[in-house]
Amino acid sequence: METEIELKFFVLPEFSKQLLDKISAAKILQQSRRELGNVYFDTPDQLLRQHDIGLRIRRFDDVFVQTLKTAGRVVAGLHQRPEYNVEVNSTEPSLALHPMDAWPQDFDVVAVQQQIQPLFSTDFIRQQWLVAMPDGSQIELAFDHGEVSVDDKRSPICEVELELKSGQTDALFTLARELCTDGGMRLGNLSKAARGYRLAADYQGDPIKPLVFVETTVQDSVETTFINTLEHALEHWLYHEQIYVERQDPQALVQISQALSLLRQTFATFGGIIPRRASALLRQELQWLEGELDWLEEANSIQELVDDKAHILRKLNVRKELQQQLDLRYTQLPDSEDMIQLMRSARYCGLLLDLSRWILSRGWQPFLDDKSRDKLAAPVKPFADNMLTRSWSELLDVFPAERQLSRIDYLDQKPRLVRNLMSGIAFAGLYDEERRACFRMPWLDLLQGLEDLRELEPIRRLLPLFEGDDLAQVEKWLQRQEESLLHAMSQTRHISIELTPYWP
């Protein structure tokens, strides 16, 4: 058995020239060019897929190699999967050639052998180089260009893979960083096999998913929870990045923004133990990327206002003019082409690589003293209790019961409310689900009120375009909408403040 450790990137066909330019200065130990044909197998009910197992037979020259890949781990494009290879004589698979301990417990290999059948093929040209890194590590660099096929259906393959053959995982990130300096690379979580299964099933793409709680347990340490939360946010980010690339759904960008908020809040939550200088560059780059997506709030507000042919504006005499101006403003915001270009940029790719490398190498460890290491090794529950108490105290300070809050007050405190709600995501699994939900619900309702209040801002910015009776009507409409929202939010705020915390 070998453990395959590799980084995968999706690129455009023209990236090959850029790649050749980049590796011309590298120390190349070997290089080759091969045509590879691969047939993937499974049972009619896809039993292998259900166990996260991949089975293929690869043909190159006159050699056939059967490969079994079992469940592994993916963090920001770094794939780690056990694999078993054996040379065979044809494209007929023989499961008995792999050791029994390669299969899941109670897996009926004989029964599966009787049902196994070809499912899809991948055929591509692989240009391959074995690169010697300065630290002595050896990395296999491959550029694959071809297609996945199922019957008459086709999907293009254009990928770069970096596989660690010997040495340190860190060397993979070093080479990847060098390759992405001119952009054009996007970290990929979807393997060729996963794409083949999608094509075979005529799969239309993954659904948008809300950011869910981290599965934290009382047995976890503070450091384990820190790592799990960062990986949880990264997985959510890359999942929705793939969705956006496939179908340009704006809500996928909203979820990426949510993941960025969780990452930044995680650094803040654990910042009392992990020195800020340990993550300074990462936090700076996350802030940059959040800035690149800060137009989403305005875009979503405009979408809500013009939805259903501006039904919400129907009673205004200047409805058509407002809708035209909102449509015009929407066209001035970044579009899908801008976002795809951002996702292929060197800075974006570099951020993902650096964050993944930092997590995998425990990049905060050199900045810790013995006291901090002891705190990170401690059980997470007392730490979570303390952090949630601080978060609660902060909310009481900015949303006091005795004060009447204005529109500006609420809008100014929205980032703080979001951060505090994010604080609970890492620790949710430590507490009673019903009590937790009852406590968080009113605060989430308050956040929704803030979102509704924010949706009025594009109309407010258009006020200078009107005068006389038209201006008076729009101002009165805005006032009614605002007063209604502020009244509901005030009630929600008082309910939230009176709740009993679900911790410790």
Same domain, 238 and 191: no
Same domain, 131 and 255: no
Same domain, 197 and 226: no
Bridge partners (DSSP) of residue 110 are: none
pLDDT given for residue 61 in this prediction: 83
pLDDT given for residue 79 in this prediction: 77
Same domain, 112 and 63: yes
In a domain, 215, yes or no: no
As separate numbers, helices (DSSP H) first and strands (DSSP E) second, the chain gives 18, 10
In a domain, 206, yes or no: no
In a domain, 65, yes or no: yes
Percent of the chain with pLDDT over 70: 99
Q: How far apart are CA 238 and CA 189, in angstroms?
A: 7
Same domain, 161 and 278: no
pLDDT given for residue 312 in this prediction: 82
Domain count, the chain: 2
In a domain, 191, yes or no: yes
- Per-residue DSSP letters for 155-213? EEEEEEEEEEEES-HHHHHHHHHHHGGG--EEE----HHHHHHHHHTT---PPP-----
Give mean pLDDT in consecutive 10-residue pieces for the chain, a chain of 504 residues: 85 91 92 94 93 92 90 72 90 92 89 94 95 96 96 93 94 95 90 90 90 97 97 96 95 97 96 95 97 96 81 87 94 97 97 95 96 97 96 90 91 91 94 95 95 94 95 95 95 93 92
**Of the candidates 194, 121, 127, which has an alpha carbon nearest to the alpha carbon of residue 152?**
121
Same domain, 235 and 115: no
In a domain, 240, yes or no: yes
Same domain, 239 and 191: no
Q: How far apart are CA 428 and CA 211, in angstroms?
A: 13
In a domain, 288, yes or no: yes
In a domain, 185, yes or no: yes
Among residues 145, 170, 201, which one ends one of the domains?
201
Same domain, 248 and 184: no
> What CATH number is given to the structural domain containing 113?
2.40.320.10
Host H or E run for residue 86: strand 78-88
Q: What is the sign, positive or negative, of the torsion defined by CA atoms of 468, 472, 473, 478?
A: positive
> What CATH number is given to the structural domain containing 353?
1.40.20.10
pLDDT given for residue 314 in this prediction: 85
Q: Render pLDDT for 297-333 as a digit per residue (tens, 0 to 9).
A: 999 999 989 876 667 888 899 999 999 999 999 999 9
Question: Do the beta carbons of residue 216 and residue 157 sit within 8 Å?
Answer: no
Same domain, 389 and 466: yes
- Per-residue DSSP letters for 298-319? HHHHHHHHHHHHHGGGTT-TTH
Same domain, 238 and 335: yes
Return the amino acid letter for 482.
Answer: E
Question: Do the beta carbons of residue 121 and residue 39 sit within 8 Å?
Answer: yes
Question: Do the beta carbons of residue 34 and residue 126 sit within 8 Å?
Answer: yes
Among residues 167, 201, 235, which one ends one of the domains?
201
Same domain, 479 and 333: yes
Same domain, 181 and 298: no
Q: How far apart are CA 492 and CA 488, in angstroms?
A: 6
Return the amino acid letter for 58.
Answer: R
Question: Domain limits at 256?
Answer: 222-368+377-498
Q: How far apart are CA 336 and CA 253, in angstroms?
A: 10
Q: Render pLDDT for 204-263 as a digit per residue (tens, 0 to 9).
A: 889 999 999 999 999 999 999 999 999 999 999 999 999 999 999 999 999 999 999 999
In a domain, 287, yes or no: yes
pLDDT given for residue 1 in this prediction: 67
- Per-residue DSSP letters for 14-47? THHHHHHHHHTTSEEEEEEEEEEEEEEEE-TT-H
Measured at the alpha carbon of residue 249, what is the angle toward residues 243 and 250, in degrees to the nearest 5? 120
